[in-house]
Amino acid sequence: MTRATLADVLQRALAGGYALAGLVVQGWEDARAYVAAAEAEGLPVILQAGPGARAHMPITIFGAMFRHLAGAASVPVVAHLDHATTIAECREAIDCGFTSVMFDGSRLPLAENIARTAEIVKLAHAAGVSCEGELGFVGYAAGEASLRTDPAKAARFAAETGVDALAVSVGNVHLQTGPEAAIDLAALAAIMAETSVPLVLHGGSGVPPALRLQLARQTSVCKFNIGTELRQTFGTALRDSLADPARFDRIAILQATEAPLTQAARRILRGLV
């Protein structure tokens, strides 16, 4: 198969009672490992380029890399721009082959978030691309505090923007290094009662695996963003690789991270179905 849109894969997940993983990519080795994991599990995968990675490597390089991997993959691959804050970023991503963009207007007043997200939805849909929005604010471990998503505002946001997926804040937190998030199931149920759009939980690394599966099967959460958990796997694998003093070649050092990343990603992917 080739590139898929976020709407393609999430609508199937919503109908099928399972969820998919949005895996945060920082380079070639992890991107290749995640596609290999998806192929081994026979599941779609969402490759995500976040702002930190884009500050390190141009978005056009991510676009080319994702296109290449998707073109050779046997499963659907979504090329997703994560946490864009300007229409220019979204337009550049669409122009270089991304099939999904996430506009993060979570720090904006509601009316402005709706207006700007709706503009990007219109741009994306005209190009055959999906758009994810965010309402409420998902905070950061040892950083900014979260602001919970208001169910009534979520209904308005989804209706007036036309987003294909909605990221919500219900106790999930970015950059947690252990499964310590306390998801407010009642708050999530209230949002579900007001919306029909597939929901997204950022900070998925902090959600215990058993709870991920429960939410995947019993709620409209169809996408979990996973970054920190896999970066920890990469860090451990890289230190192990560097422990061999005879190994000095950059390619050999980095290639040694791929098998552990593939195995970790396989566990995450199959843990949502």
| Top CATH class, 3-270 | alpha beta
Chain mean position to CA 239:
26
Return the residue matching tokens 């109908």: 15
Q: What is the DSSP string of 103-159?
A: E--TTS-HHHHHHHHHHHHHHHHHTT-EEEEE-SB--BTTSSPPBPPPHHHHHHHHH
**Which of the following is catalytic: 8, 30, 82, 240?**
82
pLDDT (0 to 100) of residue 28: 97
Tell me the pairing of strands 77-84 and 45-49.
Answer: parallel
3-state secondary structure of 182: coil
Instruction: Judge contact between 139 and 173, C-beta under 8 A.
Output: yes
Return the residue matching tokens 């040694």: 256
Per-residue pLDDT of the chain (273 residues; tens, 9 = 90+): 578 999 999 999 999 999 999 999 999 999 999 999 999 999 999 999 999 999 999 999 999 999 999 999 999 999 999 999 999 999 999 999 999 999 999 999 999 999 999 999 999 999 999 999 999 999 999 888 999 999 999 999 999 999 999 999 999 999 999 998 999 999 999 999 999 999 999 999 999 999 999 999 999 999 999 999 999 999 999 999 999 999 999 999 999 999 999 999 999 999 999
Measured distance CA(135)–CA(147) in Å, rounded:
9
Instruction: Examine the residue annotation and report whether 244 is marked as an active-site residue of this protein.
Output: no
Helix 28-41, helix 228-242: angle, nearest 10: 110
Backbone φ and ψ of 73, nearest 5°: -85, 155
pLDDT (0 to 100) of residue 1: 58
Measured distance CA(157)–CA(246) in Å, rounded:
56
Measured distance CA(44)–CA(167) in Å, rounded:
19
Burial of 145 (0-12, 13-18, 19+ CB in 10 A): exposed
Q: Which residues, in sequence order, are CB contacts of 214 under 8 Å at separation 6+?
A: none
